[in-house]
Every structure is written in structure tokens, then in C-alpha cells.
Amino acid sequence: MRLLVTGGAGFIGSNFVRGVYRWKPGWTVTVLDKLTYAGRLENLDDVKTEEGFRFLKGDICDPFSVAEAMEGCDAVVNFAAETHVDRSIEDAASFVRTDVEGVRVLMEEFRRKDRALFLQVSTDEVYGSVEHGSSKEIHKLDPRSPYAASKAGGELLAMSYWTTYGVPVVVTRASNNYGPFQYPEKLIPLFITNAMDGEPLPLYGDGMNVRDWLYVDDHCKALLRILEKSGPGRIYNVGAGQLFTNREVTSAILEATGAPRNLVRYVDDRPGHDRRYCLDVTLMEEELGWKAETPFREGLAMTVEWYRRNRNWWEVIKSGEFREYYKTMYSGRLERSGGYR
């Protein structure tokens, strides 16, 4: 099978591309990526010499780039998206453009020829905050941030092409991923790298927000299983069933890095911060026989070791654009936090 992987130079996308060449001999990949701040060509160094690998720099909102990239491909896996909630609060427009309009452009090109499957990778955040129980695929969407709303819009648009045109589409809604190559604006890589450098760990609010943590390789294996075994028109939750508060995650990071507890600093919460996410993954287990394999502490240990061995990768990032972003997002919060506790 020849895949087009959009956003394949980002965190999950690059891990997925490596997974294809590791687990699916004979499959080949074309990557289309705009190489924005979180998409990095060096994330693909391990696969750039693999047979059939092709990289194209381009925007999924550009029909010409999309048409060139999709030529000869059997299936599309769309990771391309603006993904960080904090950034969406500051600039919702770019999220709507990429996460909704970009999906429309991809779908228009995809339906021009007979292709196997379009896999739209979405997020558990489309369900909104789930105070009790777990979200099923049939539950209503209730996104509460510009990021979540843009992802909900993108997946709804993709599914409309299945209903209206018969385009073979599958949507996945995944829980929080972590692992190698994750841009250090997200909680786990930010806290790991800050802990390694003795910098404060800015924990939002009371630190009791709950997330389900899914090791990125488990997510990639789920997507490959869908490509092989799922039919069109399906929606699947992809989660690990490993729920932890942000406090618990922070403590685990401190333990794994050997950093002191007094690095933790509670800071002002972000607006509209969802309290809890939890997915029911029965469909993935019963229909496709997939289940997450990696215990959280094992996955976290592997992730910490990767960041320890790849300082050059993240030190360059944190000394560039990220530095100004971090200052904007956290300096005021840290100043108002009243010290370490």
C-alpha cells in the first residue's frame, strides 16, 4: 500500500511514518508537510532513505500541493493540523484554516479517483469535558476550545463526504499522546526538558485535570490496524484507559528525571480548561482486536530516556521560536504564582 501522510514531519505523523517502515514491509509513504514550527524535517531522518519514501513541502490548503502529493497513493492519513489549545486561544483563525479548510481541500482531491481509505485523525477533545463515565463514539460533540472546535469541524466535514459522495472515510478520536519527537510546548515534553534543566514546571490551576495518556507507538499501531481492517464510515475512539491527573503526571516526571519537587509551580489556569477526558474504546477492541500495550510508567521512562539522549533536538527548539512563545505564555503566570510550593 502507498500512503500519503499529511503532517508527517510532526510528532505523531513522524512516529507513524517510522512505524510503517518498521511494521509493514512493502508499504511506502509520501509525506506532505508545511514544516511550520512543530513540523521538522529532521524528524524523518530515520526513514528518508527507505525505499519508496518521498517528502514534499506543502500546505494541505493548497490544491496544487495536495494533488501532487496524492498522485499514486492508495490511502491518506491526515495528521496535518494546528493542535495546541493554548495557541488556539490566541489565534483561532489559523486553526480553522488548517483543521477545516485543509480537510476540505484534501477531500476534494481524494474523491477524484478510486482510493482505498481516508483516515482523519481527530482528538478526544471534541467531546468536551467529561465529568463522569466515558465518551462513546455515538455521544454528542461538545468542543470547548477553538482547537477542539476546529477538529470537530474537520471530522464532521470529512464524514459528510462519506454520506454525500460515498468517499471512504474513517475518523479516529485519540486521547493525549506522548513519546519521542513531541514538540516541547505540550505538558510531558515541556516538563521533562524543564526538569532536566532545573527550570520551573508551570502546572495549571490546581493540577487536578485528568487525561488518558496513550504512548504514541500504540496509537500508530491502532491506525495501521484501521487501515488494514476497517470499512468506511466508521468512527473509533483510540485510548489507553490510563487516566492520571496532571499532578500525578508531574510527580512521575520528577521521579523519572530525578528532579526535585520544588521545581513545581502552580500557575494561573488557561481559559476554559477541560477538567476530564475519558474514552470508551470498546469498538477498537471488539471490532479490530486492538488494545494499547504500553503501561504509562514504562512509556514515560522510554520518553524521558529519548529526551535525555536527544538534547540537541530539543535544545535547538527551546532556544528559537519557542523561547518567545514560552515567555509570552508563562512569564506572567510564573511571576504571579508566588514562588515554588
The predicted-structure confidence for 129-177, as pLDDT tens digits, reads as follows: 999 999 999 999 999 999 999 999 999 999 999 999 999 999 999 999 9
Tell me the CATH number at 73. Answer: 3.40.50.720
Our measurement of the distance from residue 120's CA atom to the centroid of its chain's CA atoms, rounded to an integer in Å, reads: 12
Q: Across residues 41-67, what is the average pLDDT?
A: 97
324 found inside a domain:
no
Domain membership flag for residue 309: no
Q: How many distinct structural domains can be found in the chain?
A: 1
Q: Quick check: is 293 in a domain?
A: no
Number of DSSP helices (H) and strands (E) in the chain, helices first: 13, 12
What number is the average pLDDT over the span 297-311? 98
- pLDDT for 88 equals 79
Residue 86: which domain range? 2-176+216-238
User: C-alpha cell of 160?
Assistant: 459528510
Q: Determine, yes or no, domain membership for 244.
A: no
Residue 165 covered by a domain? yes
Judged against a pLDDT cut of 50, whether residue 289 lies above it is answered with: yes
Mean pLDDT of the chain: 95
Reported as a pLDDT band with limits 50, 70 and 90, residue 270 is confident
Which entry of 147, 215, 266, 277 is annotated as an active-site residue?
147
Does the pLDDT at position 339 exceed 60?
no
* Closest alpha carbon to 15 in 211, 221, 170, 154: 221
| 289 lies in some domain | no
Nearest by Cα to 157 from 114, 102, 117, 238 = 102
Spatial separation of the C-alpha atoms in residues 154 and 193, rounded to whole Å: 32
User: For residues 265 and 339, is the Cβ–Cβ distance under 8 A?
Assistant: yes
Q: Point out the catalytic residue in the list 33, 86, 125, 218.
A: 125
Candidates 33, 86, 124, 137; catalytic one: 124
Looking at residue 11, its pLDDT comes to: 97
Residue 21 covered by a domain: yes
Q: Is 124 a catalytic residue?
A: yes
pLDDT exceeds 90 at position 87: no
- Give the pLDDT of residue 338: 60
Give pLDDT tens digits for 206-244. Answer: 999 999 999 999 999 999 999 999 999 999 999 999 999
Residue 62 lies in a domain: yes
pLDDT at 340: 41
Q: Is the pLDDT of residue 181 over 90?
A: yes
Helix (H) or strand (E) segment spanning residue 120: strand 117-123
